[in-house]
Chain A
Amino acid sequence: MIALIVVVAVLAVGTYLFRLTGVVLAGRFTLPASLQRLLPLATVALLGALAVTAALTEAGRAAGVARPAGVLVGVILAWRRAPFAVVVVAAAATAAGLRLLGVP
């Protein structure tokens, strides 16, 4: 119980401080142009890695077949400029359909 309160509180405060620190520091000083150019790239790298690891791994191991297949369908649709809702629904439906057929 106490442990759980501490887990939630530390995660909440720590996450908020990460979020606020960047916003506040960016207003305090101007980053050199080279670093400013890298920031959007760093953001893309982090978000891309988050998406790819979430697509392909589960608790440090491979995530089976259905989930990556669903994400692949979504990526192809996104690449063909399908609307966001179509991408997400198709990805979920593919993964769900494959599992219905017994694919892990």
Chain B
Amino acid sequence: MRRGWRTIDRGLLRDAAAIGVAIFAIGVSFGAIAAAAGLPTWAVVAMSVLVFAGGAQFLAVGLVAAGSPVGAVVGGLLLNARHLPFGFTVAEVVGSRWPARLLGSHLMVDEAVAFALAQPSPQRRRTAYWLAGATVFVVWNVGTGVGIALGAAADPAVLGLDAAFPAGLLALLAPSLGDPAARRVAVVGAGVALLTTPVLPAGVPVLLALSGLVVAGRVRSRPGGREEPE
């Protein structure tokens, strides 16, 4: 591991720090919203430490506050089912040793996956994944605590934090979207998710984005990759 850490270049560190600052702010807004919704502190903290998935946590808090605990569980699990294909994608990055698998799986957040996917070499992917995952885990939980303490004083809408999460995620995806096939799949998938959001239960539309794979076509899968027929 020490050799790995010594090879971290300044670009990776700078980006991971920026991700950390953004996720800290979103963590603060989560803690504040959950506290304002009347959830006890232990439940808010337990969600951030144990569930550790921002989108599902916001969804669950909203549905619990609306009196629908079953909806919170079903919606949260549907939204988090995307981590199953993520696991296949980052398995090589996480490694094959069991301690690394058990820990690396818990750190599998959207930002770490997108950040790793954007790196050109296996070594950089590994460093990016662990660096972003660990950073996000720490700042998300510290942020949640700060948000609970601030309570209603930290209104995420006033600070524009609701725009920070999607903008940050799209910025992390930008390098992967350089590939034409990825761009086509992402556009169709996002379109399907967007169109079905008003009519389907929370969590389902994002999974339906996988339908975008029908336009994956038979072009190169990575920049610089060879043309290969399907």
Contacts and interface: CB of A to CB of B under 8 A. Distances in A.
Interface of A: 3-8, 10-12, 14-16, 18-27, 31, 33-34, 37-61, 63, 66-67, 69-71, 73-75, 77-79, 83-85, 87-88, 90-97, 99
Given A20-B105, A45-B189, A3 B69 contact: yes
A75 B88 contact: no
Contacts of B189: 45-46, 48-49
Contact of A88 (B18, B96, B190): B18
Interface residues of B, number: 99
A7 B64 CA distance: 9
SS class of chain A's interface: helix, strand, loop or mixed? helix
A14 B79 CA distance: 11
A87 B171 contact: yes
Contacts, number: 308
Interface of B: 14-15, 17-19, 21-22, 25, 39-40, 43, 46-47, 50-53, 55-56, 60, 62, 64, 69, 72-73, 76-77, 80-92, 94, 96, 101-102, 104-106, 108, 110, 113-114, 117, 157-174, 176-177, 181-182, 185-190, 192-194, 197-198, 202, 205-210, 212-213, 216, 221-222, 228, 230
Contact of B167 (A14, A24, A27, A74): A74
Contacts of A48: 170, 173, 177, 186-187, 189-190, 209
